[in-house]
Chain A
Amino acid sequence: MEAKKIGCYICTGCGIGEAMNVAALEKVASKEQKIPVTRSHPYLCGAEGVGMIRQDMANEGVNALLIAACSHRFKTDEFQFDTPLLDRVDLRDKVLWVQDVASGDATAKEDLQMMAADYLRMGSVKLKKMEPPDPFQDAGFSKDVLVVGGGIAGLTAAKEVAATGYRAILVEKSAALGGMVARMHKVTPSRAPYRELEENPIQALIATVEGDSHIKVYKNAAIRSTLGAPGLFDVTIHNGDTLTTERVGSIILTTGYSLYDPKKLDARLGYGVSPDVVTSLEFEEMAKAGKIVRKSDGQPARRVVFSLCAGQRDANHLEYCSGACCAYSLKHALYLMEQYKDGSAYVLFQELRTPGQGEEFYRRVQEEGGVIIKGDVEKVEKGAAGGLRVQIHDKLLRGHEQLEVDLLVLATGMLSTVDTSDPNNPSPVGQVASEEAAYVLNLDYRQGRSMPELKWGFPDSHFICFPYETRRSGIYAAGPARRPMGIAESITDATGAALKAIQAVESVARGAGLHPRAGDLSYPSFRREGCTQCKRCTEECPFGAINEDEKSNPQFNPTRCRRCGTCMGACPQKVISFANYSVDMIGSMLKEVEVPPADDEKPRILVFACVNDAIPALDTVGRNRTPLSPYVRIIPLRCMGSMSLVWVADAMSSGFDGILLMGCRHGEDYQCHNVRGSALAENRLSKVSETLNRLQLESSRVKMVEVNIMDADTLPALINDFAAQIGSMELNPYKEF
């Protein structure tokens, strides 16, 4: 790129021109900051204002834009130009609209002007330090998708990947495709009117996959190791005596579920008392084989108790609900009643869960004569005439009853098969799964070979808003491996995961980041000479993007990177930076703020604010025109995880009197889109008192708070109280230097 030529454009609309001395601001830009082209316009986002900027780009060679107008979150379509070098200075929402200058008070006006000038200075320095990102490229990028697990979800994922025009490689550990669903007889209704059992779709799906030239299938195969990163994964597949390495771009985990061990169930449920106490899967297989009979003597099983939630929703077993078992058990009741016209199906439930149109199927089974009872199995014995005697507690009739039945079917729950050791003892939030777990992918990540789990062994990272996300970029889980679910939902889920996998390979090919900074072309660069091998970056990256070589030097994997900057914030040596975001850039920005001499008694408070939650909340404060302390200067951060302690020291030695950090909620129900950013910042901050002590400053000058995007009502008090607290302290003695 040719030499950078900055143009600074100050909007004087929305009252900016009336409240501020724009000529003075222009002077700050042109004289003090030496920006070659500086202009103002009464309505910059209008066609004429935007046209003026375009003209300068065409005629004056301006190729870097400093746009001083409203918040960067607004007028984004208007202020879109053909240059990656652009910064928005917010003179309106976070300056004019949060300062009360209506009274005409001279001090208030002066403070407003100082604030606007400081933001302009900061923007100018930021733009000067900014370089255009050079997207990461590699000649070896693959757009193929690996699918691990050949059950209904895996088959669907492979089929959908291929149907979109990409190649899929499907790895199945057993000799046959089909997984759990292949062991089933029929499936619960997925189509209107949601009353009829449907033919098992699995064989047709297997035939489609096996006949698709875009899909390569490995059976009897396991994954020995997964090296590399999105676009560049090298997956070694162990298949019989041979090892094959495939290069793939992204990975879908559809390893399905295993069932909770029935031997661990409470004794009252009677598993093991008689062969006639069976699991749902055993019953399913019996129905598939044709005859529903007592296992003990092969006699027809006409009377059957189906007991739901066996070892589920139970602190001693699986704490969660598997979601699909209620519908499965109703299906089993229907099998029975279809096979024996005089059959009796007793379905014992805690809470019957047939959401959505599943309610129609529940109704159908009731109409067919299924006896649905809210209650528990209390005791199971062998029956007098073979079969079983089951004592139940009927909670609605409020009585205990003995039932002579042929079978008792226990609905045991689903466990994710992705790297899970014990679903009731998941790894602490923010840490990778136990190393004792069995690894599906055998990842080559410095943070471990397994997939990090969120809760109960499921490998996702954003349960509500972005359910496909995991903490391993380009690797997505689908079906019951991701969340307990039934067949229809697994098919949908696998289709969605196929999209995410395709999206990952396409983004990587463009050199673009994935969620949450989708499309970001920057990635961290690393200055090796300065590295002390302290390992903080490799340990802290929430996505495990950084490996280590044998000498403990960090090895960056740019396509794993989500561009949050946590590595940059972690590095005490300042050797990690992005083309458009660096420790030096932010440090230079805060040093550019003009700190008034102590005699003026105007403290300066630096606010680092998370760009996703705190910044929009601050914009809303402006929208509400709620006044904020005029002493505050706000710097948005990509993520609190990128917060460097160097800035705290820099700010203090530059004469700031206090620092407020606004991160998002962390802990078990974290909101951080980079999973651990705000938690890591808080952790780092716990070491800040050392720095402050060295400077002989009180540790209460630095405070971190959790800010929610909807906190516009409470944020002003939070900021103003902190400002008042800082104001009541002695001013920072370093102002004098």
Chain B
Amino acid sequence: MADDRTAARTILVVGGGISGLTTAVEAAEVGLNVLLVEKEPHLGGRVAQHFQYFPKLCSPTCGLEINYQSVKNNPRIRVLTLAEVEDIQGTDGDYTVKIRQHPRFVNEKCTACGECAKVCTRQVPNTFNFGMNQVKAIRNAHAMAYPNHYFMDPEYAGSEEARSLVAVCPVGAIDPTMTATLLEEKVGSVVWATGWQPYAAEKIQPYGFGRFANVSTNMRFERLANPFGPTEGRLVRPSDGKEVKRIAFIQCAGSRDHNHLSHCSRICCLASMKQATYVRRQFPDAQVTIYYIDLRAMDRYEGFQKKVEADPGVRWVKSKPARIDEDPQSRDPIVIGEDTLTGIRYAEPYDMVVLATGMEPNSASTARVPAQGVAYDACGFVISGGPVLAAGCAATPLDVAGAVQASTAMALKAIQSAARRG
């Protein structure tokens, strides 16, 4: 790598989840400069919302911490949060990108002391918890957020109270007049790692998500299980706070289905098995039912499936349920369908039903690549080639280990592309 011109030695990574973080850290540790752009106020992406990883049932924060340490210790990595890439022009080795830096309304002077939040009276839905609870309009996204700087909701920034907070901050970090800025940067290659969002469960009409209080989704359930989540980790149902002791997981809710997501999202079977362990651990007398088409615990994850299968409190029904009704008195969801192994029809009430919704690539909607010549597959996943390299779940549904593996590969391709001067 004789070429040491800055652009040819700089990689733009779009997305600060596990894939983008990995690409950034791996490339920087080879010696490249990295500009890491994240649209949220903090890094960590989807994995930061998870309570535990399968199969080890350990906290994602533990691995993220190592990555954050690498980011902090490596001056070659520059992080922009609340930023989005708006335009990409050029060729390998010589791209000009435009980045919109949204206002945080709190500058880097912030020490996360929390004085502002004490004074703030405006409560807003907590998007990090999928709106399941309320938070202050000025806050840090969650307990382990990095960067550890507060931010303010734009809707709040215009308020009189927000202006009054300027005087509350002991270090002068609050600035409700902040506006968006447009940055222009020169980079040698671009890695698109914008990840995924949970498929919108209300689109799966027969399952009643949005109509029935006790029909939830797997990502929401991760937040419920989390000690920093809306229920401080207590697995209770939304309608009446009752402990969730009879629970059903419905696999392929929206996945492997031409009317919704035609692909298999790869992780949902394992995620439900993992969530079954959350329930069984919290309530040893709980009964878990998993409705599935095929149990996809690929390769070494088979060991995890075997472990969950050994638990007599977990029941497996091969069936794609037809619909969910709700008992109007108890508000118990009732799962209705046919067990394909026995041919027996069932209508079973539960305290709560969790839809194992799949991965919809953000690149299909909110994170289209702003460049000419980018191709997508039928599901909206980015096809590498042209101006961007797709890493992690922007390219295909992956588990965390697979995303790390693919992002490490993309770090190398990005180094090669950056060095290739057209």
* A626 and B71 alpha carbons, distance in the complex (Å): 29
Residue of A at shortest CB range from B73? A519
B111 touches A75 (CB 8 A): yes
A455 touches B300 (CB 8 A): yes
Q: Which residues of A contact B303 (CB under 8 A)?
A: 319-320, 455-456
Bits for A328-360, please: 1 = Cβ < 8 Å to B, else 0.
000000000000000000000101111111111
Binds A, one of B160-168, B347-355, B406-414: B406-414
Q: Does residue A120 face the partner (Cβ distance < 8 Å to B)?
A: no
Residue of A at shortest CB range from B31? A506
Residue of A at shortest CB range from B146? A73
Residue of B at shortest CB range from A398? B343
Binds B, one of A433-441, A444-452, A465-473, A551-559: A465-473
A496 touches B66 (CB 8 A): no
A484 touches B144 (CB 8 A): no
B409 touches A665 (CB 8 A): no
Bits for A485-515, please: 1 = Cβ < 8 Å to B, else 0.
1000100110111111011001100000001
* A162 and B55 alpha carbons, distance in the complex (Å): 36
* A313 and B72 alpha carbons, distance in the complex (Å): 43
A357 touches B58 (CB 8 A): no
Bits for A175-219, please: 1 = Cβ < 8 Å to B, else 0.
000000000000000011110000000000000000000000000
CB < 8 Å neighbour of B75 from A80, A193, A466, A503: A80
Q: Which residues of B contact A669 (CB under 8 A)?
A: 55-58
Q: Does residue A33 face the partner (Cβ distance < 8 Å to B)?
A: no
Q: Does residue B287 face the partner (Cβ distance < 8 Å to A)?
A: no
Residue of A at shortest CB range from B227? A713
Bits for B9-35, please: 1 = Cβ < 8 Å to A, else 0.
000000000000000011101110000
B111 touches A13 (CB 8 A): yes
Q: Does residue B294 face the partner (Cβ distance < 8 Å to A)?
A: yes
Q: Which residues of A contact B1 (CB under 8 A)?
A: 164-165
A465-B62, A671-B56 known; A503-B264 Cβ under 8 A: no
* A15 and B118 alpha carbons, distance in the complex (Å): 14
Residue of A at shortest CB range from B292? A351
Q: Which residues of A contact B233 (CB under 8 A)?
A: 713
B405 touches A356 (CB 8 A): no
Q: Does residue B419 face the partner (Cβ distance < 8 Å to A)?
A: yes
A357 touches B30 (CB 8 A): no
User: Quick one: which of B298, B318, B411 has the most chain A CB within 10 A?
Assistant: B298
* A468 and B375 alpha carbons, distance in the complex (Å): 30
* A394 and B59 alpha carbons, distance in the complex (Å): 41
Separation in Å of the B88 CB from the closest CB of chain A? 21
Q: Does residue A415 face the partner (Cβ distance < 8 Å to B)?
A: no
CB < 8 Å neighbour of B62 from A194, A519, A671: A671
Q: Which residues of A contact B61 (CB under 8 A)?
A: 616, 709-710
Residue of B at shortest CB range from A672? B62
Separation in Å of the B308 CB from the closest CB of chain A? 14
B29 touches A503 (CB 8 A): yes
Separation in Å of the A473 CB from the closest CB of chain B? 14
A357-B396, A360-B263, A516-B66 known; A499-B408 Cβ under 8 A: yes
A616 touches B65 (CB 8 A): yes
B170 touches A492 (CB 8 A): no
CB < 8 Å neighbour of A708 from B62, B148, B408: B62
Residue of B at shortest CB range from A476? B408
Q: Which residues of B contact A398 (CB under 8 A)?
A: 341-343
B396 touches A620 (CB 8 A): no
Separation in Å of the B72 CB from the closest CB of chain A? 4
A709 touches B59 (CB 8 A): yes
A355 touches B300 (CB 8 A): no
A321 touches B299 (CB 8 A): yes
Separation in Å of the A420 CB from the closest CB of chain B? 14
Separation in Å of the B50 CB from the closest CB of chain A? 11
Q: Which residues of B contact A374 (CB under 8 A)?
A: 318
Q: How many residues of A contact B (CB 8 A)?
A: 87
A455-B303, A468-B408, A484-B300 known; A709-B62 Cβ under 8 A: yes
Q: Does residue B213 face the partner (Cβ distance < 8 Å to A)?
A: no
Separation in Å of the B247 CB from the closest CB of chain A? 22
A710 touches B171 (CB 8 A): no
* A211 and B266 alpha carbons, distance in the complex (Å): 38
A485 touches B299 (CB 8 A): yes
Q: Which residues of A contact B132 (CB under 8 A)?
A: none
Residue of B at shortest CB range from A516? B66
Q: Which residues of B contact A70 (CB under 8 A)?
A: 111
Q: Does residue A144 face the partner (Cβ distance < 8 Å to B)?
A: no
Q: Does residue B296 face the partner (Cβ distance < 8 Å to A)?
A: yes
Q: Does residue B113 face the partner (Cβ distance < 8 Å to A)?
A: yes
B294 touches A353 (CB 8 A): yes
Q: Which residues of A contact B299 (CB under 8 A)?
A: 320-323, 483-485
B266 touches A355 (CB 8 A): yes
CB < 8 Å neighbour of B406 from A353, A396, A496, A620: A496
A612 touches B65 (CB 8 A): yes
Q: How many residues of B contact A (CB 8 A)?
A: 88
* A58 and B171 alpha carbons, distance in the complex (Å): 26
Which residues 177-213 of B have a CB within 8 angstroms of A?
none
CB < 8 Å neighbour of B264 from A160, A356, A496, A518: A356
* A281 and B263 alpha carbons, distance in the complex (Å): 28
Q: Does residue B302 face the partner (Cβ distance < 8 Å to A)?
A: yes
Residue of B at shortest CB range from A623? B143
Separation in Å of the B304 CB from the closest CB of chain A? 10
Bits for B386-422, please: 1 = Cβ < 8 Å to A, else 0.
0000000000111011101111110111011001000
CB < 8 Å neighbour of A160 from B55, B402, B407, B412: B412
CB < 8 Å neighbour of A612 from B26, B62, B73, B401: B62
* A351 and B294 alpha carbons, distance in the complex (Å): 5
Q: Which residues of B contact A165 (CB under 8 A)?
A: 1-2, 419
A396-B341, A455-B300 known; A709-B144 Cβ under 8 A: yes
User: Quick one: which of A160, A492, A499, A708 has the most chain B CB within 10 A?
Assistant: A499
* A712 and B142 alpha carbons, distance in the complex (Å): 13
Residue of A at shortest CB range from B342? A398
Q: Which residues of B contact A45 (CB under 8 A)?
A: 109, 111
Residue of A at shortest CB range from B400? A464
CB < 8 Å neighbour of A519 from B74, B112, B113, B405: B74
Binds A, one of B36-44, B93-101, B323-331, B376-384: B376-384
Separation in Å of the B110 CB from the closest CB of chain A? 10
* A493 and B262 alpha carbons, distance in the complex (Å): 26
B227 touches A710 (CB 8 A): yes
User: Quick one: which of A74, A465, A665 has the most chain B CB within 10 A?
Assistant: A465
Q: Which residues of A contact B379 (CB under 8 A)?
A: 357
Q: Does residue A271 face the partner (Cβ distance < 8 Å to B)?
A: no
B295 touches A507 (CB 8 A): no
Which residues 62-82 of A have a CB within 8 angstroms of B?
70, 73-77, 80
Q: Does residue B340 face the partner (Cβ distance < 8 Å to A)?
A: yes
Residue of A at shortest CB range from B300? A320
Q: Does residue B128 face the partner (Cβ distance < 8 Å to A)?
A: no
Q: Does residue B246 face the partner (Cβ distance < 8 Å to A)?
A: no
Q: Which residues of B contact A485 (CB under 8 A)?
A: 299
B266 touches A356 (CB 8 A): yes
* A710 and B222 alpha carbons, distance in the complex (Å): 14
Residue of A at shortest CB range from B406? A492
* A193 and B27 alpha carbons, distance in the complex (Å): 30
A620-B144, A671-B56 known; A46-B171 Cβ under 8 A: yes
CB < 8 Å neighbour of B377 from A353, A357, A495, A518: A357
State the B residues within 8 Å of A (CB). Answer: 1-2, 25-27, 29-31, 51, 53, 55-59, 61-63, 65-66, 69-70, 72-75, 108-109, 111-114, 143-144, 148, 170-171, 226-228, 232-233, 256, 262-266, 294-303, 306, 318, 340-343, 375, 377-379, 381, 383, 396-398, 400-402, 404-409, 411-413, 415-416, 419
- Pull 21 A–B residue pairs with CB atoms less than 8 Å apart, ordered by A: A13-B113, A14-B170, A74-B112, A75-B111, A192-B375, A319-B306, A321-B299, A322-B299, A464-B55, A465-B400, A492-B409, A493-B409, A495-B408, A495-B409, A499-B415, A502-B30, A515-B66, A516-B66, A671-B58, A710-B51, A712-B228
Given A321-B299, A464-B55, A492-B405, 5 more A-B residue pairs with CB atoms under 8 Å apart are A351-B294, A465-B62, A499-B415, A515-B66, A712-B227
